[in-house]
Amino acid sequence: MKKVHNFSAGPAILPVDVIKEATQGAIEFNNSGMSILEVSHRGTDFINVMEEARALVKEFMGFGSGYQTLFLGGGASTQFAMVPSNLLQAGKPAAYVNTGVWASKAIKEAKMLGDVNVIASSEDKKFSYVPKGYAVPKDASYLHLTSNNTIYGTQMHSFPESSVPVVCDMSSDIFSRKMDFSKFDLIYAGAQKNIGAAGATVVVVKEDILGKTGRKMFSMLDYAVHIKGESMYNTPPVFSVYVCMLTLKWLKKNGGLAWIEKINDEKAKTMYDEIDRNILFTGTCAKEDRSKMNACFLLTKPELEETFNKMWKDAGISGIKGHRDVGGYRASLYNALPLESVKVLVDVMKEFEKKYADSKVTA
């Protein structure tokens, strides 16, 4: 199979070693005579997988007792409803910072359960920057943030101080950098960008923020139910959890968050240096808020789009078309993407400029 340079925004590239091991597990898992796709989630073999995956998440975050890790289904979008179901108290509005499509969807869901105060937003400039300098209400039930915005290419490089519980959607940049995770009381992330295959959502929650709403909840939306069931209140997404465990082991084996942050920084610098240097491209968002996970850029000569598209496709590049809300291009630089792939894309951009910078017609 010819391996492409996969810049997809998600489901995204996975480490080759993880794919190989997951493939073997899909054929036969732990010398059991069965595939991981067939084994019981109540059996010892899979319970060990779940426990190791949960433990690795807490290890990377530096959390001990008092925090619980869950692997759930439903994607991060289900968390848009689960968070307010578990945390939004009557008479205490939730505070949300709106930095893009996914934050907007989270706000919409929360409003169905109670009062929501959008305390800051970058919608006025099409989400091309991250709001700063806002005050967090002391009487809020919680503060909700989205750390990285895949569609618009912005990322929070610092986080506000808060006297209320802080919830963060880290779907597209979890474990891409070192962080003080103790700033957060609840973190959730879809697995399919940095930590595994589509199907699983990791949730890490500080237990003492739960049980304060007085609200009756559906069992499937209740964090306490899933904690008691050790992520197995119902059948979990077995294969996705297995791939998450393998990916987290890969990350730990290679040096953890310090190791991957250094690589991600180099990838982002390589990408943005070329966007800023090349006269045929321009970035889409404020430079100080640029995402190290999703580099978004536009052609300065849109009439050359078909020509550029052919060049990057011929180079074995996949997945850089921008989201329809922004247009242009988006290079997703997730953990498993090698620096080599970024250099291939940059070389194509340089060659494109060399050939067509002076072009006045469609080539």
Among 254, 269, 300, give the residue marking a domain's end: 254
Query: Does 107 lie in the same domain as 42?
Result: yes
Q: What is the pLDDT of residue 3?
A: 78
CATH of the domain at 341: 3.90.1150.10
Exposure of 236 by Cβ count < 10 A (0-12 exposed, 13-18 middle, 19+ buried)? buried
More confident position, 45 or 3: 45
Res. 1: pLDDT tops 70: no
Res. 234: pLDDT tops 50: yes
- Annotated catalytic residue: which of 169, 185, 222, 289? 169
Long-range contacts of range 300-308, CB-CB < 8 Å, 24 or more positions apart?
301/356, 301/359, 303/361, 303/362, 304/280, 304/352, 304/356, 304/359, 304/362, 304/363, 306/362, 307/352, 307/356, 307/362, 307/363, 308/280, 308/352
Looking at this protein, which amino acid is placed at residue 41? H
Beta strands per DSSP E along 109-249: 116-121, 143-146, 148-149, 154-155, 166-169, 186-190, 201-206
312 is catalytic: no
Query: Does 262 lie in the same domain as 327?
Result: yes
Q: Is 362 within a domain?
A: no
Of the candidates 68, 65, 115, 66, which has an alpha carbon nearest to the alpha carbon of residue 87? Answer: 115
Gap between the Cα atoms of 156 and 144, Å rounded: 13
Query: Does 245 lie in the same domain as 300?
Result: no
Instruction: Summarize the confidence of residues 165-175 as an average pLDDT.
Output: 98
SS3 328: coil
Query: Does 74 lie in the same domain as 39?
Result: yes
Q: What is the pLDDT of residue 98?
A: 98
- Annotated catalytic residue: which of 92, 173, 185, 193? 193
Res. 228: pLDDT tops 50: yes
Of the candidates 223, 228, 201, 203, which has an alpha carbon nearest to the alpha carbon of residue 213? Answer: 223
Q: Is 5 within a domain?
A: no
193 is catalytic: yes
Query: Does 187 lie in the same domain as 41?
Result: yes
Q: Is 121 within a domain?
A: yes
- Annotated catalytic residue: which of 92, 102, 292, 312? 102
Query: Does 236 lie in the same domain as 131?
Result: yes
Instruction: Summarize the confidence of residues 287-296 as an average pLDDT.
Output: 98
Q: Is 48 within a domain?
A: yes
SS3 137: coil
Query: Does 152 lie in the same domain as 223?
Result: yes
Q: Is 8 within a domain?
A: no
Res. 142: pLDDT tops 60: yes
Gap between the Cα atoms of 182 and 170, Å rounded: 14
Q: Calculate the average pLDDT of the chain.
A: 96
Prior bond of 237 cis (ω within 30°) = no
Give CA separation, 67 vs 12, 62, 200, 208, in Å: 28, 10, 19, 9
Q: What is the pLDDT of residue 363?
A: 42
Q: What is the pLDDT of residue 360?
A: 64
Instruction: Summarize the confidence of residues 235-252 as an average pLDDT.
Output: 98
Q: Is 62 within a domain?
A: yes
- Strands of 67-72's sheet, edge to edge? 67-72, 201-206, 186-190, 166-169, 143-146, 94-98, 116-121
Two structure tokens written together for 16: 């080759």
Res. 362: pLDDT tops 70: no
Instruction: Summarize the confidence of residues 203-211 as an average pLDDT.
Output: 98
Query: Does 180 lie in the same domain as 43?
Result: yes
Gap between the Cα atoms of 15 and 180, Å rounded: 26
CATH of the domain at 238: 3.40.640.10
Q: Which domain holds residue 240?
A: 16-254
Query: Does 189 lie in the same domain as 279?
Result: no
Q: pLDDT tens across 244-281, in order?
A: 999 999 999 999 999 999 999 999 999 999 999 999 99
Query: Does 201 lie in the same domain as 82?
Result: yes
Q: Is 290 within a domain?
A: yes
Query: Does 161 lie in the same domain as 22?
Result: yes
Res. 236: pLDDT tops 80: yes
Instruction: Summarize the confidence of residues 177-195 as an average pLDDT.
Output: 97
Res. 96: pLDDT tops 90: yes
292 is catalytic: no
Among 202, 220, 254, give the residue marking a domain's end: 254
Res. 325: pLDDT tops 90: no
- Percent of the chain having pLDDT more than 70? 99
Q: pLDDT tens across 338-360, in order?
A: 999 999 999 999 999 999 998 76
Q: What is the pLDDT of residue 359?
A: 73
Query: Does 264 lie in the same domain as 247?
Result: no
Res. 310: pLDDT tops 70: yes
Q: Is 186 within a domain?
A: yes
Res. 316: pLDDT tops 50: yes
Q: What is the pLDDT of residue 318?
A: 98
Among 238, 254, 270, give the residue marking a domain's end: 254
| Count of the separate structural domains present in the chain | 2
Instruction: Summarize the confidence of residues 320-325 as an average pLDDT.
Output: 93
Gap between the Cα atoms of 46 and 39, Å rounded: 7
More confident position, 363 or 207: 207
Name the pTM for this structure. Answer: 0.96
